[in-house]
A and B are shown apart, each in its own frame.
Chain A
Amino acid sequence: MALRAIAGKKTLTLGLGFGPRGAVAASCPGLGLRLRHVRGLVTFSLPDLPYDYGALEPAISGEIMQLHHQKHHQTYITNYNKALEQLEEAMAKGDSSKVVHLQSAIKFNGGGHINHSIFWQNLKPANEGGGEPPHGSLGWAIDTDYGSVEALVQKMNAEGAALQGSGWVWLALDKEMKKLKVETTANQDPLVTKGANLVPLLGIDVWEHAYYLQYKNVRPDYLKNVWKVMNWKYASEVYEKEVA
């Protein structure tokens, strides 16, 4: 569901731009656009953040937000687009080896794009409601399944801290079972890799780049503080749409 929100044109103030493809489009824009439509390949561009880089301080520093958005997320998008183009070529040629070979790059970079697009929406400045605990049906569901929001937060922080290497910790909704779950994924694996019915409500990036400049190796401190800018409203909206 969150993915549909990304792909559609009317998300909060974010959009997934359908960007022109590099030099060809730049030098012959009309031609590039037509080529793109004829071949049907959609490419992606960096969505804007709905807040300033410094707006999540002191929980997450402006320096981190800028690097994270402009460098890391952008790199995933650039490499994702490249892999998709190569995939399209390989598919057109029937080059199965190449098609299969590209899968890991697509999973990694595409996953990075998916995950970070959700992440920016998961965060909200404290003075705009970030950190406010969930009310409504999501709040009740959390109390039912975990006892309290605090207990859920503790569980997610424990799993996030224990995650070896790089990855994400998620609050997920199993939309078939209508139950909440805490999941972790490694590297940039999107949540669906843990279950096709899992919808991401909240994700916390626990790659070192998400916190190192500010928290160094003390990931637990980052996890404690990130909840102060958590956008529970977004999670509630996603939840309500799915269980409706």
Chain B
Amino acid sequence: MHGVSLPFSFACGVRSSSIRASPRSFLWPTPNERRKVRCALITAQFELKRPPYPLDSLEPHMSRKTVEHHWGRHHRSHVDGLNAQIAGTQLEEMELEDVVIASYNKGSPLPPFVHAAQVWNHDFFWQSMKPGGGGKPSGKLMELIERDFGSFERMLKEFREAASAQFGSGWAWLAYKANRLDVGNAVNPCPSEKDNKLVIAKTPNAVNPLVWDYSPLLAIDVWEHAYYLDYENRRADYVSIFIEKLVSWDIVSSRLDIAMARAAERAREDERRRQEDDVEITNSEAVEMYVDSDNNSESE
């Protein structure tokens, strides 16, 4: 991969000498290998998940024809493409989110990224909608929307603008941002709930905010195939109808709950680590700082 360093060894395409070959290829499998054989027989492949509603139930806002094409052709081809690309590689044993982040490769995406991300994005998209959707959020979600955007209407305005201004293909998102720097010693000295907030984001093509360590809450697909059959070039109309008639704010709320719980857990972990570091420093205080390394290692 042109000198890109990866945290694990990884190869595109099917490795013919992979352990996932026929079980007859080894005679005395160890317990671990036996487990892998069982997995191979079950096939750890990603599936095309159905939307949680009948394909025609989003009409008239999103036609059955659109959903059938979008899910049955576009989404399906990404699933098939992903399975083909990761077969025989370590990515095959990972959860989809992990495949997305690993193949994003910190900004130099590897070949499986497009398919992995688009599978994740489309699963997320179908679940973001429901028949009879729309309306307004409530509870904690509404509270945070009003805190971070001023009002529900202003959040929607930003969302619409992001969806329209995404030149070419891509996605617009509402996300919960509670990210940490990906650096070993990055500890927030004054952590507060205010570090975590709702943001609107837009991404090109297959990219999604998971790669920025955000927690996505809501997505709209603004690739032309998502709306062309129903709205032709009128993307703004599609976005409005999505907001008014299709969004499942229940799902968005439950995603927010999960995201906030995850952020709280991370904050606790950070705090625990900070306290451990403090303890270590306290313990080694008795040792002079400029003694040679032998003494330092003894004190630990």
A interface residue numbers (CB < 8 A to B): 67, 71-72, 75, 104, 108, 164-167, 186-188, 207-209, 212-213, 216-217
Residues of B within 8 A of A71 (CB): 232-233
Add 13 more A-B contacts to A104-B167, A213-B229, A216-B69 (CB < 8 A): A72-B233, A164-B114, A165-B168, A165-B223, A166-B224, A167-B168, A186-B168, A187-B168, A208-B228, A212-B228, A212-B229, A216-B73, A217-B225
Query: Can you name 13 A-B residue pairings with CB atoms under 8 Å?
Result: A67-B232, A67-B233, A71-B232, A104-B167, A164-B114, A164-B206, A165-B168, A165-B170, A165-B204, A166-B169, A208-B169, A208-B223, A217-B225
- Mark B221-246 against chain A: 1 for CB-CB distance below 8 A, else 0: 00111001100110000000000000
Asked if B77 is at the interface (CB within 8 A of a chain A CB), the reply is yes
Q: Indicate if the CB atoms of A217 and B205 lie closer than 8 Å.
A: no
B interface residue numbers (CB < 8 A to A): 69, 73-74, 77, 114, 167-170, 204-206, 223-225, 228-229, 232-233
Q: Indicate if the CB atoms of B169 and A165 lie closer than 8 Å.
A: yes
Quick one: closest A residue to B77, CB to CB? A217
Q: How far is the CB of B161 from chain A (nearest CB, A)?
A: 13
Q: Indicate if the CB atoms of A209 and B167 lie closer than 8 Å.
A: no
Residues of A within 8 A of B167 (CB): 104, 108, 187-188
Q: Indicate if the CB atoms of B225 and A208 lie closer than 8 Å.
A: yes
Residues of A within 8 A of B73 (CB): 216-217
Quick one: closest B residue to A212, CB to CB? B228
Which one of B206, B224, B225 has the greatest number of beta carbons of chain A within 10 Å?
B224
Going nearest first, the 9 A-B pairs with the smallest beta carbon separation are A208-B224, A165-B169, A187-B168, A166-B168, A165-B205, A71-B233, A212-B228, A217-B73, A108-B167
Q: How far is the CB of B256 from chain A (nearest CB, A)?
A: 29
Q: Indicate if the CB atoms of A209 and B224 lie closer than 8 Å.
A: yes
CA distance A151 to B277 in the complex (A): 64
Residues of A within 8 A of B74 (CB): 217
Q: How far is the CB of A102 from chain B (nearest CB, A)?
A: 13
Quick one: closest B residue to A112, CB to CB? B167
Q: How far is the CB of A95 from chain B (nearest CB, A)?
A: 20
Q: How far is the CB of A58 from chain B (nearest CB, A)?
A: 19
Our pick among A187, A188, A212 for the contact of B224 (Cβ within 8 Å) is: A212
CA distance A108 to B167 in the complex (A): 7
Quick one: closest B residue to A104, CB to CB? B167
Q: How far is the CB of B10 from chain A (nearest CB, A)?
A: 20
Q: Indicate if the CB atoms of B69 and A217 lie closer than 8 Å.
A: yes
Residues of B within 8 A of A186 (CB): 168
Q: How far is the CB of B93 from chain A (nearest CB, A)?
A: 26
Quick one: closest A residue to B72, CB to CB? A217
Quick one: closest B residue to A63, CB to CB? B232
Quick one: closest B residue to A111, CB to CB? B167
Q: How far is the CB of A184 from chain B (nearest CB, A)?
A: 13
Residues of B within 8 A of A67 (CB): 232-233
Quick one: closest B residue to A71, CB to CB? B233
Residues of B within 8 A of A208 (CB): 169, 223-225, 228
Residues of B within 8 A of A212 (CB): 224-225, 228-229
Q: Indicate if the CB atoms of B206 and A209 lie closer than 8 Å.
A: no
Q: How far is the CB of B239 from chain A (nearest CB, A)?
A: 15
CA distance A108 to B204 in the complex (A): 14
Residues of A within 8 A of B77 (CB): 217
Q: Indicate if the CB atoms of A213 and B168 lie closer than 8 Å.
A: no
Residues of A within 8 A of B232 (CB): 67, 71
CA distance A167 to B168 in the complex (A): 8
Residues of A within 8 A of B223 (CB): 165, 208
CA distance A208 to B170 in the complex (A): 12
Q: How far is the CB of A190 from chain B (nearest CB, A)?
A: 14
CA distance A166 to B204 in the complex (A): 10
CA distance A209 to B233 in the complex (A): 8
Quick one: closest A residue to B206, CB to CB? A164
Quick one: closest B residue to A70, CB to CB? B233
